[in-house]
Structure 1
Amino acid sequence: MTASERKPRLLYLAFYFPPSRASGVYRARATANHFARAGWDVTVLAAPLGFLYDVIGSTDDKLLETVDPQVSVERPELDTFRWEQELQNMSWMRGMMPNVSKRFFEWREAKQFPEPYVSWARSSVVKGLKLHRRKKFDAVLATGNPFGAFAAAWAIGKLARIPYVIDYRDSWTLDLFKDEPAFPPKHPTWKWERRVIDSSAAVVFVNNALRDWHAERYPEAADRMMVVPNGWDPDLLELPPTPEVPAEPQRPLNFSYLGTITTHQPMEEMAEAFRIAREHPALAGAELNLFGHLGFFQQSHLSLLTRLGLNASGKVDPDLDAGLRLRGPVAKTEVSSVYADSDALVFLAAGGRYVTSGKIFEYMATGRPIVSVHAPDIAAREVLEGYPLWFHADSLDPEKLAQSFIEAGIAARQADPETREAARRHATIFKRDALLAPLEARLRQELSS
């Protein structure tokens, strides 16, 4: 059977893949599913389940059920030395000489690749080549972070002599929160990035700002750089067939934030702005419901509770009540009910001009008023421009943000069906399959060249 008579085979390196709940997992899930539906034989190399369940405790089992059954998932080994806390699981040498063992481990890892997940990258190369010998792959696609996936794709592509594409769903050498390089000039990461970009068949970014930043630094690869924005997944979001009626004037409004809250987000400004906005008659008694996890790790929530003005149990002093309600995590397959019960949505985002959050695409698909709480020059503006129910202060000043909350609340009560329908039409261009189609076409083109 010739290559033209069989399905093309794709090896996809995606560390964070279901049942992981990391922020990038939805892009990875959608990519694997899209290629499978487009006629590819897809094999994913993902993180070990033990790491997801036992080390970071960050999973959503229901999301695993949404992976196309045609997709094969392999889970190369990861050395969990740096995360191991139980003495009975440690080696004799580490138990007796912990400092020496730690220094040796870090030295050995850094010599190979400057990232904590290098052992998974090594295992992925071994696993990928073994699978390739058994049944040849036609191309490799890797998504980062971790960026050891890029190094593994480079090695597999070189040894198997097949093209590889790297997908920057996150930034490797640019600090998105400081808008400056993430490493000093002579750090080995720069050599690795140039190496994997120089040999790649294509380099993918989530927005134009990131593409331009990298094109300026690697101009010889600029013609191989492309933008594949994040999007929303219709199979994970049940939308009502027609726009809802405006909120009844007699009941308090429900604002919602859905997603993981992290240390970099301007949560204090959001909480203060909402407290101020509730003094307006339109928002009397309104609540801001926070759905999702506090941080990505099991013990990261306590400091975030304090910044939100909540105590260790997630409660607030009634005398200081700012209307925030911590509702806890929601399975991705159940978020539709959250949106159905929300009058307006809060887009709380960290970072500056290079940041586009995946959540905003889903928000727009609901047709709800959206309040922006983020730096004024964030890259997400590219997709929000033209959304008729977007309310933004272009500032993190709580007084100005409060006005955005008030305007969104009024819109939740007064927006007509035509405006809501126009909002949903704006969101249709960001359906995930439509955005991934150029990437799939690019890889097919590589096979025929």
Structure 2
Amino acid sequence: MTARPRVLYLAFYFPPSRASGVYRARATANYFAESGWDVTVMRAPQRFLLDVVGSTDEGLAATVDPRIDVVLPEMDYYAWELDIRAYGSFRGNFPFLAKRWHEFKQRFSFPDPYASWGRSAVAEGLRLHAERPFDLVIATGNPFAAFGAAYELGRRTGLPYIVDNRDAWTLDLFTNTDAFPKGHPAWKWERRILEHAAEALYVNGALRDWHAERYPGVAERMHVLLNGWDPDVLPEVPPPSTDEDRPLSFAYVGTLTAVQPVEALFAGFDLMNSESSHTGSTLDLYGHIGFFSGSETRIRSQFGFDTEPEGVRFRGPVSKAEIGKAYADSDVLVFLAGGSKYVTSGKIFEYMATGRPIVSVHERGSAAEELLRDYPLWFVPASLEAADVAAAFAEAGDAARKGDPDLADQARRYAASFTRYQALEAFEQRARALATRSAR
């Protein structure tokens, strides 16, 4: 191994992507670069981010360590290409044959829609490794084609690889059931990848335990790597005003999706706003509606907010680099989440770092509750019924009005133990040991 170990990091969603998992990927790459590694990241091609996702966050891209090399393997856009004018001659003239050929490739290749990107990542990784060898491969998923690429690179080069599960592949996090039927090739591939991986990382203990039960032979190589918040893009948020003549501002920061209890959020807020002492309050929604281009119309229709509900303001996306102002303008933060005991959400760490009151609007049993339990300004409704959500909103509003500085300081001190870099320290040390052994 050279004085500076080399890592190939397969992170499809990496800045300027705005996907939720991009912050974990950015922090991991930056931390390794700052710790003396030569880091090469393979991410999604720009066309995918612009034409399929439909947006980027250039402000976040500017926070990537300039020492990091970024490579953009290409991919097949068949599944996402909706404009017939962009079809190639084969698909344009022989659509049925083109579909059959695409389905054939999917059936006998890696079971992930992004498999073509994974194949390109393998080819590019082998080329770069031949020019100047890597010492370690790390892959973060989803998409899980990154895991398949890491496995293949390990098989062909002998390099150790680590898979980082930001998400679950074979577990449906929103129903707590298997994501694939028995016999689906994803099960075979997950077992194969985990059995050969040097490590597997999970964002919380519940996910780690679920996988350890499924794959007990790999359990000792499974670790929890919590998410966290990023001090470099979240400056200290000043205390909110306690002026009782000013309406309170409740805020949700993040992407609105079809799996969140948005109806419960609006019903509870509307009830609180009409019957409590906090009438005239506003609910600001910062972020995109849906992850992909074209999903906003469908989600707006599903939740019936073609027009803004009373007191609700759709603020639109805000760059990660400018997120501090959104928090500074808010009195109470709303933690809106779908999912179950397996879902933590990286956003909760950032919320806690502000020292603001936090209202939970999600089904009970979320993995985030393990973290929020010791946060002194957490308000959780007894259920998702409108009256219970409204009561939690009102209690959080009372706390914001009181503005107890000691309680806010206690909240920020608690959150200070959850920075991303603190979470990454032990992982980087284990990765360095792996890289050293592989070079012998």
The residue type equivalent to 2:250 in the other structure is: F
Give the equivalent residue in structure 1 for 2:176. Answer: 179
8 Å Cα contact 2:285-2:313 kept in structure 1: yes
Q: Where do 1:416-435 residues align within 5 Å?
A: 416-435=404-423
Report the CA distance shift for 1:425/1:87 in structure 2 as closer, same or farther (over 3 A): same
Shift of 1:247: 2.3
Give the equivalent residue in structure 2 for 1:332. Answer: 320
Alpha-carbon displacement from aligned partner over 1:148-197 (angstroms, at most 9, x marks no partner): 00010011111111100000000000000000110011000000000000
Give the equivalent residue in structure 1 for 2:249. Answer: 254
Alpha-carbon displacement from aligned partner over 1:76-104 (angstroms, at most 9, x marks no partner): 11111222233343232311221231122
My pick for the range that moved more, 278-287 or 354-363, is 278-287
Q: Distance in 1 between matches of 2:269 and 2:196?
A: 49
Shift of 1:441: 1.0
8 Å Cα contact 1:153-1:164 kept in structure 2: yes
Q: Where do 1:153-302 residues align within 5 Å?
A: 153-240=150-237, 244=239, 246-302=241-297
8 Å Cα contact 1:202-1:226 kept in structure 2: yes
TM-score, scaled to structure 1: 0.95
Alignment counterpart, residue 90 of structure 1, candidates 87, 90, 96: 87
Q: Distance in 2 between matches of 1:420 and 1:276?
A: 27
8 Å Cα contact 2:240-2:328 kept in structure 1: no
Find the residue that maps to 1:279 and give its secondary structure.
helix
Shift of 1:301: 1.2
Give the equivalent residue in structure 2 for 1:389. Answer: 377
Q: Where do 1:332-351 residues align within 5 Å?
A: 332-351=320-339
2:65 is the alignment partner of 1:64: no
Q: Distance in 1 between matches of 2:248 and 2:33?
A: 42
- Equivalences, count: 437
8 Å Cα contact 2:154-2:161 kept in structure 1: yes
Give the equivalent residue in structure 1 for 2:27. Answer: 30
**Moved segments of 4+, more than 4 Å:** none
Give the equivalent residue in structure 2 for 1:19. Answer: 16
Q: Distance in 2 between matches of 1:132 and 1:445?
A: 20
Give the equivalent residue in structure 2 for 1:400. Answer: 388
Find the residue that maps to 2:13 and give its secondary structure.
coil
Find the residue that maps to 1:262 and give its secondary structure.
coil
Question: Percent of aligned positions with the same letter in both sequences?
Answer: 52
Q: Distance in 1 between matches of 2:264 and 2:83?
A: 40
Shift of 1:277: 0.7
Q: Distance in 2 between matches of 1:203 and 1:61?
A: 30
Give the equivalent residue in structure 1 for 2:343. Answer: 355
The residue type equivalent to 1:331 in the other structure is: S
Q: Distance in 2 between matches of 1:238 and 1:127?
A: 38
Find the residue that maps to 2:251 and give its secondary structure.
strand
8 Å Cα contact 2:9-2:138 kept in structure 1: yes
Shift of 1:304: 2.5
RMSD: 1.3
8 Å Cα contact 2:276-2:394 kept in structure 1: no
Find the residue that maps to 2:274 and give its secondary structure.
coil
Alignment gaps of 5+ in structure 1: none
The residue type equivalent to 2:277 in the other structure is: A
2:31 is the alignment partner of 1:43: no
The residue type equivalent to 2:258 in the other structure is: T
Give the equivalent residue in structure 2 for 1:115. Answer: 112
Give the equivalent residue in structure 2 for 1:81. Answer: 78
Shift of 1:245: 5.3
The residue type equivalent to 1:302 in the other structure is: T
Alignment counterpart, residue 441 of structure 1, candidates 420, 423, 429: 429
8 Å Cα contact 2:240-2:330 kept in structure 1: no
Shift of 1:50: 1.0
Alpha-carbon displacement from aligned partner over 1:378-413 (angstroms, at most 9, x marks no partner): 001111110000000142122111110000000001
Alpha-carbon displacement from aligned partner over 1:106-131 (angstroms, at most 9, x marks no partner): 22122111111000000000000100
Alignment gaps of 5+ in structure 2: none
